[in-house]
Amino acid sequence: MYGWRARIGSIAATPSDIFPYEFYQIAPAGLTIMPTSLSIPQVKEKDLKQGRDEIEASAKGLAREGADVIILGAAPMLYALGPGSDRVLSERISKLTGVPTISNQTAMMDALRALDAAKILIASPFVKETNQKLKAFLEGSGFKVVGMGGFGKVKNADINRITRQEAYHFVKSAFNSHKSKEIQGILMPCANWPTSLLVKKWETDLGVPVVTSNLAKLWAALKVLGIKDKISDFGSLLSTKL
């Protein structure tokens, strides 16, 4: 068995190669990912509701196959439900499956707190409407959103096609547009665009910590599992806060 230390169950919004690729670039030896996905082709309420209806079945499947921890992705499906819904969902799935479960939204916010980042710039692949919902969720959870930048994508298939070069320059531009606002951290939601392998470059160039969806998921899973390997080269969250 390759996951001889632990197997991490992951429920994504849609089938994607991004998180598995980034995971195996970053994760310590002996960990594997068990990926599954919902059917959320677009970041629109109809599709997000369908995802909320499917998540229990996916979680039961991961538990049946031996996941040691489950990370719930598709954070936008929680935005309309309001602050606290991330923990309610995680607790329900954990009770249902008997497997420790954490929402990606919880993981991202916990990561920001661990980095003492209360004033946040959102840099997302989403449209303005989705960013506004995330802003309300974060501010209802105790953060201050001092700026937002969105790539303007609705379809997950289009998000998946954003290149690393496009992501890098987009985030730098968003930061430079808001840098007068005392940004303490950059939050980059969505597991479906190539961001986590760029975090060290952004932190070096911009001088603030960066939390991506996929780094937060891995960080949260390692904390639940009690795995404390030193992980360098992928930003301040994994290198100093395990």
Question: Could you tell me where the beta strands, DSSP code E, fall in the chain?
Answer: 6-12, 31-37, 69-72, 101-103, 119-124, 144-150, 185-188, 210-212
Q: Measured between alpha carbons, how far is 190 from 60 in angstroms, rounded to an integer?
A: 23
What pTM value is reported for the model?
0.93
Q: Which of 72, 170, 180, 194 is nearest to 122 (CA)?
A: 170
Find the radius of gyration of the CA atoms of the chain: 16
Neighbours of 60 (CB within 10 A): 14
**Do you know the residue count of the chain?**
242
Q: Measured between alpha carbons, how far is 68 from 162 in angstroms, rounded to an integer?
A: 32
Strand order in the sheet with 144-150: 144-150, 119-124, 185-188, 210-212
H helix or E strand, kind and range, residue 106:
helix 104-114
Task: Provide the residue-wise pLDDT of the chain in tens; the chain has 242 residues.
Answer: 899 999 999 998 778 899 999 999 999 999 999 998 877 555 555 555 555 667 888 899 999 999 999 999 877 778 878 899 899 989 999 999 999 999 999 999 999 999 999 999 999 999 999 999 999 999 999 999 999 999 998 888 899 999 999 999 999 999 999 977 799 999 999 999 999 999 999 999 999 999 999 999 999 999 999 999 989 899 999 997 66
Q: Are 6 and 68 in contact (CB under 8 A)?
A: yes
